[in-house]
Amino acid sequence: MREITLPEFPWDTLAPYGDKARAHPDGIVDLSIGTPVDPTPQVVQDAVRAAADSPGYPPTIGIPGLRETVAEAAERLYGITGLTPAHILPVIGTKELIGTLPTLLGIGTGDTVMIPDLAYPTYAVAAAFAGAQTLTADGYTRIGPQRLALTWINSPSNPTGRVLGPAHLQKMVDESRRRGVLLASDECYIDLSWEGDAPLSVLHPDVRGGSFDGLLAVHSLSKRSNFAGLRGGFVAGDPQVIARLTEVRKHLGFLVPRPVQMAMIAGYRDDVHVRDQREIYRRRRELLKAALVESGFRIDHSEAGLYLWATRDEPCWQTVDFLAEKGILVAPGAFYGAAGATHVRIALTATDAGIEQAAARLLA
């Protein structure tokens, strides 16, 4: 049996600071994890209830109408033209897809996966679980002729909120194709843009050119539709890769529950709840950002997504401790790579009252 060495779960190391924050006289404001706190939209709830009587197994590839709905929404919302059902596969939450992608593709010992310098930890965990190595870089310039099995990009970024522009995306597509490496783009925060140009998908025709070859994009309803507790998303792109993933997942029984698939259809057909939720986050972001800046923080990147990438130009754990004293728990930038050593990630996913409390404590 191959021994799998996984890193310590990051949030376990944050526990003592959580205890300190909870000891605040007015309690903790937890801004460390980006889990939605607002109600799941009524249109989604209604779809789940209506499909509750689902005695049979749902198809791996998706129930009738799901992939067509996703294709239509991708064009309407993100300008991704040309998607057909053959380009799309529903998944049981995108963390599941990201965490298993190397294994499902047959990547393993002797292979290398490239991930961003600052990255969601699951990219590296997924590679380690498959037995592959990871290499951190935001582009191919630094790595020379290194042979790669998979490259991840993430725009808008978790944790930084950075949005990769069209030129950067095009360069990554062109170089990935030249090298013969699959390029996977995590676009789970694409609906939450605050400053500058709207994020582009790697599947947008201005980026991909005339082909989906060698490209995957990962999308989630968790943040846009407060869907995290239902677990639903999709991966789209190269139809040959989608067919391979579908076949393997069919054998393994990776089936999105039918009520969740119906809820996905409802979520992608309704844009009103997404606009409403984005406005809620906008108000929280403006209040919290202003308080952080006034209290001596600098906000870097953070053009999109659900986080503020903040620094006081000191070691990140020192900042975590400083905020814990105020009853505010945040995530240290070191969780996401060495380049985050002086930053903290501050989530917008608290109630209005929680964000107001955090802002007041920062300014007290």
pLDDT of residue 1: 61
Indicate if the pLDDT at residue 135 is higher than 70. Answer: yes
Using a cut of 0.85, tell me whether the model's pTM lies above it: yes
Question: CA 298 → CA 12, 122, 161, 333, distances in Å?
Answer: 27, 27, 14, 14
Range with the poorest average pLDDT among 13-17, 242-246, 307-311: 13-17
User: Do the beta carbons of residue 317 and residue 340 sit within 8 Å?
Assistant: no
Is 195 exposed, middle or buried, given 0-12, 13-18 or 19+ CB atoms closer than 10 A? exposed
Closest CA to 296 of 320, 316, 317, 313: 313
Question: CA 66 → CA 72, 182, 195, 269, distances in Å?
Answer: 10, 25, 32, 10
User: Do the beta carbons of residue 181 and residue 146 sit within 8 Å?
Assistant: no
CATH number of 42-270: 3.40.640.10
**Bridge partners for 235 per DSSP:** 89, 218
Band of pLDDT at residue 253, cut at 50, 70 and 90: very high
Domains 10-39+273-363 and 42-270 share a fold: no
- Distance of alpha carbon 269 from alpha carbon 83, whole angstroms: 16
Average pLDDT of the segment spanning 124-149: 93
**pLDDT tens digits for range 172-190:** 999 999 999 999 999 999 9
The two structure tokens encoding residue 347? 């989530």
Give residue limits of the domains in the chain. Answer: 10-39+273-363, 42-270
What's the chain's length in residues? 364
The two structure tokens encoding residue 63? 């129930």
Indicate if the pLDDT at residue 9 is higher than 90. Answer: no
Band of pLDDT at residue 145, cut at 50, 70 and 90: confident
E strands, 74-228, are 88-91, 112-115, 133-136, 150-154, 182-186, 215-220
Indicate if the pLDDT at residue 7 is higher than 70. Answer: no
- Distance of alpha carbon 326 from alpha carbon 28, whole angstroms: 8
CATH topology of domain 10-39+273-363: Aspartate Aminotransferase, domain 1 (3.90.1150)
**pLDDT tens digits for range 26-73:** 999 999 999 999 999 999 999 999 999 999 999 999 999 999 999 999
| Mean pLDDT, rounded, of the chain | 96
